[in-house]
Structure 1
Amino acid sequence: MYVSEWENGKRPISDRYAAILRHLLGVTDSELRDSAPAVAPTTTDGYDDLLSRIDSASSVSASMVKAFNDQTELLRTMDRQLGASGLVDQMTGHLAALEDALNFAVLPSARRPVALALAGASTLAAWQAVDSGAIERAWRHYELAKRAARDAEAPMYLAHAMGEQAYVLCEAGRPALGVDLIRDAQRTLGGAGSPRLRAWLYATESELCAHAGLLDDCRRAFETAEASLPSGPEDRDPDMLSIFLNGAHLSRWRGNIHALLGDDDAVTNLYDALETADPTFVRAQAGLHTDLAQAHLARAEYDDANTHLRQARLLANRTGSVRQRRRVDLLSARL
C-alpha cells in the first residue's frame, strides 16, 4: 500500500523508509524523492560567510587532502568487494565535501591537490552510478571528474575519466561515438601518462571497437595494449590508483573481447583468467562468469553457459550490480 501511495504522491517517503530504499536501489535521496535538494537560506550580505568559506578552503592542508584520498580508497575497496548500492549516501557526502573545498579555494596551490582528489573520487562515483543503473548521475559525475582533472592540470585523470565515460556511450547504443571518445582520451594523454594507463586505454579501445564492429581496429588496439603493459605481477598503477591491470587482468580482457567477436579461443582465455582472478574483485568475477556464458553460447554449449549465468547472477545480486544483471538477463534470453 505504501509503495502505491509513494508512487502516486499521496504519501511522502519518510526518512526511515528513504534510508532503506536508498540502500536497496542505489540512488541518492533527491533521485528517490524526485525533488531538488533543499537550498539553505541566504542573508542579504553574504560576504562574511563567503570569506569564512574561503579562509577554510585556503587552510586545507596536505594531511586533509590525504584524508580525502584515504576516504576515496576506502570507498573503492568497499565497492570492489560489496558493490555500490549501499555506498550512495557516503559517496554523495564525500563528493560534496570535496566540491565545497574546491569551490572556495582561490589560489592554484590550494586548488590543485583538492581538484586532483575530486577527480579521482568523481570517477569512482561515476562508475558506481553506472553499475547501479543511474546513468544520468554517472554522466554528470564524469563531467565533474573531467572539470576537476583540468583544474588540477592532470592529463592522466582526465584521460581515465574520458575512457570510462566512453563505456556509457557504448552501453547507450553508440559504440562508434565511444571509440571516438577513447581515442580522444589517448590524444589527451599523449606521451605523458604511465604505461599501465596507456595499456588500459588501448584495451578499452579494443573492446569498444569490438562492439562497433571494427574488427581490424579491435585487434590492432589490443596488440598495442599488450605491448604497453609493464611485465610482472604488480597490478596497481602507483600514478593512477583507479587502474588495476597486469597480465592476468589483460588475459581476462582478451577473453571478453574474443567472446564478443565469437572467437573459439575465448573460452580458454577466460578459464585461464578465472583461475588467477583475485577473489576480492567480486563484481569483476561476476563479469568474468558472464563472459564465459557468452563464449559458451557462441559455441552452442548451453549447459555450460547456464552454469556460468547462474554464478554470474548470484555474484551480481550479491553486489547489487544492475549493469551485470542486465548482461545476465540479455544472455539468459538466448538460452
Structure 2
Amino acid sequence: MGTGLRVIRTARGWSQDRLVYEMRRFAEQRLLGIASSASLKVYISEWENGRRPITDRYAAILRPLFGATDAELRGEPEPQPQQADGYEDLLSRIDAAVSLSVSMVQTFLDQTELLRTMDRQMGAAGLVDQMNGHLARMEDALTFAVLPSARRPIATALAGASTLAAWQALDAGAVERAWRHYELAKKAAQDADSPMYLAHAMGEQAYVLHDAGRPQLAVELVRDARTTQANRQSPRLRAWLAAAEAELCGGAGMTEDARRALEQANSLLPDDGETRDPDMASIFLNKDHLARWRGNVLAKLGDSSAMEELYASLSAADASFVRAKSGLHCDLSQAHLARGELEDARSHLQQARLLANRTGSVRYRRRVEMLTGRL
C-alpha cells in the first residue's frame, strides 16, 4: 500500500528528511497548516510501510511535489473512467458530446498550450492534477462522441495533450504512466486520422524504451514512426523524427546510423524561420534547436566537434526552455569529460543539477548522477 511513495521518493533522490523539508516549504508558501517536522517524519515512515494511509490532505501536497498521481502515491491501480449509468445518462452524455462546439475544442487546445508553457518553464511536477483533469475531460468527451465529424477534432486535441502528459510522466520517472499516455495518444491519433500525431507519439514513446534499457527496440520504433504514412507528414515533423532517430542511435552505439540520421534531419528541416508547424503545435524545431540536438548526439558519440555546437546552442538558448537547458549542460559536461577537462565538466554538471532540481526532472537527475559517477 505504501510502497508507491517510497519508490517515487527514492527515484527523486530525496531522503525522508528532505521530503519533510519540501512538504513544510510547500505548505508555508501556500499558508497550509500541516504537522510538525517530527510528526511528518513519523507519518512518512508509516505511509511507506503501509501502517498509515495517505490522507487526501497530504496527498494534495505530495502529488504536485512529485508529479505523481494518487494511485502512484498509494501503490494502487489507476482508477477507470466513469461509465454511463443507464440509458438516460448515456443519452445525456451523447447529447452533450454532440453539442460540443468548435470553441470548446479550441478551449481544450488552449489549455494544453498553457500546460505546455508551464511545463517547459517550471517542470511538470506541479501540474499533475491539472493535466489529469484535462485529459479526463477530453477522454469523456471523446467516449460519447458518436459521428466522425464530432470525434476527429476532439481526438486530435486529445492526441496532442496525451503526448505532452506522457513526456511529463517520463520526466517525472513515472514510466508506466508515460507508456499508457503514449498508447492513449496513438489511439486518439488513429481516431482522428492524423498520421502526424501518431508518428510523433511513436517517436517519443521510443524514448521510454531507450530509458528502460532497450535501445535497439527504441531505434526500431522511431524508424517505424518515420515510415508511418510518411507522405502525410510535414517536413518539420520528418526532420524531428530523423533527429530523434539520430539521438536514439547514438544511445545505442550505432555511430554511422546516428550521423546519417543527423544529415537527414538537417536536409529535411525547412528553412522558413519558423519554430512550430501550423498543423502540429507539439513540435518545436528550428535551426537552433537542431544544432543543440546535433551537439547532444555528437557528445554521445565522443565527437570533439560537439563542443562548438553545444556552446553556440547555450548562447542561443530560449530562456523559457528551462528543463531543456539542464540537458544542454549535461551534454556539455559529457563533451568535456570526453576531453578529460574535469573542472569544466563539474561546472556544467552543477548547473545541470540545479536546473533538474528546479524543474523536478527525475530523468535529468538520473543523467546527472550517471555523469557524476564518471568524475
- TM-score range (shorter-chain normalised) is over 0.9
Whole-Å separation in 2 of the counterparts to 1:127 and 1:40: 21
Counterpart for residue 248 of structure 2: 208
Please list, as runs of the form range in 1=range in 2, the aligned pairs for 1:68-83 lying within 5 A after superposition: 68-83=108-123
- Report the secondary structure of 2:228's partner residue: helix
Q: Do the aligned partners of residues 316 and 151 (structure 1) sit closer, same or farther apart at CA in structure 2, a change above 3 Å counting?
A: same
Counterpart check, 1:6 vs 2:85? no
- CA drift of 1:176 comes to 0.9
Whole-Å separation in 2 of the counterparts to 1:22 and 1:39: 19
Counterpart check, 1:21 vs 2:62? yes
- CA drift of 1:221 comes to 0.9
Task: Tell me the amino acid that sits aligned with residue 108 of structure 1.
Answer: P
Counterpart check, 1:89 vs 2:129? yes
* Residue-pair matches, total: 334
Please list, as runs of the form range in 1=range in 2, the aligned pairs for 1:224-303 lying within 5 A after superposition: 224-303=264-343
Contact 1:232-1:247 within 8 A present in 2 as well: no
Task: Tell me the amino acid that sits aligned with residue 32 of structure 1.
Answer: L
- Report the secondary structure of 2:281's partner residue: strand
Post-superposition Cα deviations, 1:240-283, rounded to whole Å, max 9, x if no partner, equal 11111111111111110000000011111100110101010000
Whole-Å separation in 1 of the counterparts to 2:193 and 2:138: 17
Counterpart for residue 12 of structure 2: none
Between 1:241-250 and 1:130-139, the stretch displaced more is 241-250
Task: Tell me the amino acid that sits aligned with residue 55 of structure 2.
Answer: S
Task: Tell me the amino acid that sits aligned with residue 30 of structure 1.
Answer: A
Between 1:191-200 and 1:128-137, the stretch displaced more is 191-200
Counterpart for residue 305 of structure 1: 345
Counterpart check, 1:153 vs 2:180? no
Task: Tell me the amino acid that sits aligned with residue 118 of structure 1.
Answer: L
| Residue number among 166, 169, 191 corresponding to 1:129 in the alignment | 169
| Residue number among 71, 93, 96 corresponding to 1:56 in the alignment | 96
Counterpart for residue 232 of structure 2: 192
Counterpart for residue 208 of structure 2: 168
Post-superposition Cα deviations, 1:161-212, rounded to whole Å, max 9, x if no partner, equal 0000011111111111111111110110412111111000001111111112
Counterpart for residue 141 of structure 1: 181
Of all paired residues, the percent bearing the same amino acid is 69
- CA drift of 1:8 comes to 2.2
Counterpart for residue 322 of structure 1: 362
Q: Do the aligned partners of residues 4 and 157 (structure 1) sit closer, same or farther apart at CA in structure 2, a change above 3 Å counting?
A: same
Whole-Å separation in 2 of the counterparts to 1:39 and 1:217: 42
Contact 1:123-1:145 within 8 A present in 2 as well: yes
- CA drift of 1:33 comes to 1.8
Q: Do the aligned partners of residues 41 and 134 (structure 1) sit closer, same or farther apart at CA in structure 2, a change above 3 Å counting?
A: closer
Counterpart for residue 72 of structure 2: 31
Counterpart for residue 65 of structure 1: 105
Post-superposition Cα deviations, 1:281-306, rounded to whole Å, max 9, x if no partner, equal 00010000000000000111000000
Between 1:276-285 and 1:225-234, the stretch displaced more is 225-234
Whole-Å separation in 1 of the counterparts to 2:235 and 2:49: 53
TM-score by length of 2: 0.87
Whole-Å separation in 2 of the counterparts to 1:193 and 1:252: 23
Contact 1:195-1:229 within 8 A present in 2 as well: yes
Whole-Å separation in 2 of the counterparts to 1:38 and 1:172: 25
Stretches of structure 2 lacking an aligned partner (at least 5 in a row)? 1-41
Whole-Å separation in 2 of the counterparts to 1:111 and 1:234: 30
Whole-Å separation in 2 of the counterparts to 1:36 and 1:56: 29
Q: How large is the Cα RMSD of the aligned pairs? A: 1.5
- CA drift of 1:36 comes to 4.1
Whole-Å separation in 1 of the counterparts to 2:158 and 2:370: 35
- CA drift of 1:41 comes to 9.3
Structure 1 segments, 4+ long, off by >2 Å, are: 34-43
TM-score by length of 1: 0.97
Whole-Å separation in 2 of the counterparts to 1:226 and 1:293: 25
Stretches of structure 1 lacking an aligned partner (at least 5 in a row)? none
Counterpart for residue 113 of structure 1: 153
Whole-Å separation in 2 of the counterparts to 1:180 and 1:70: 33
Q: Do the aligned partners of residues 131 and 38 (structure 1) sit closer, same or farther apart at CA in structure 2, a change above 3 Å counting?
A: closer
